[in-house]
Amino acid sequence: MKKLLVFLVLVAMTISLFACADTEAEKETIRIAGLKGPTSIGLVKVMNDNADGKAANKYEFTIAGSADEITPKLNKGELDMAAIPANLASVLYNNTNGAIKVLAINTLGVLYIVEKGDTVKSVADLKGKTIYATGKGSTPEYTLRYILSKNGVDPDNDVTIEWQSEPTAVVPLLKANDNAIAMLPQPYVTVAQSNVEGLNIALNLTDEWGKIEGSGALVTGVLAARTEFVEKHPDAVKKMLNEYAASSEYVNANIDDAAALVEEFDIFKAAIAKKAIPYCNIKVITGDEMRTSLSSYLAVLFEQNAKAVGGKLPDDAFYYVK
Intrachain domains 7-109+218-318 and 111-210 with the same fold: yes
pTM, full prediction: 0.86
Give the pLDDT of residue 119: 93
Alpha carbon distance 275, 8 (integer Å): 53
Please, which residues bridge with residue 112 across strands? Answer: 184, 204
Give the pLDDT of residue 24: 52
Give the pLDDT of residue 3: 53
Residue 137: other Cβ atoms inside 10 A: 11
CB 216, CB 296: distance < 8 Å = yes
What is the DSSP code string of 167-194?
A: HHHHHHHHHH-TT-EEEEETTHHHHHHH
CB 250, CB 283: distance < 8 Å = no
Instruction: List the chain residues with pLDDT less than 50.
Output: 4, 6, 8-11, 14-22
Give the pLDDT of residue 1: 54
Alpha carbon distance 169, 133 (integer Å): 9
Alpha carbon distance 273, 270 (integer Å): 5
CATH number for the region 7-109+218-318 comes to 3.40.190.10
Domain ranges across the chain = 7-109+218-318, 111-210
Alpha carbon distance 174, 240 (integer Å): 41
Give the pLDDT of residue 21: 44
Give the three-class secondary structure for 121: coil
Give the pLDDT of residue 11: 45
Alpha carbon distance 317, 322 (integer Å): 12
The architecture of the domain spanning 111-210 is 3-Layer(aba) Sandwich (3.40)
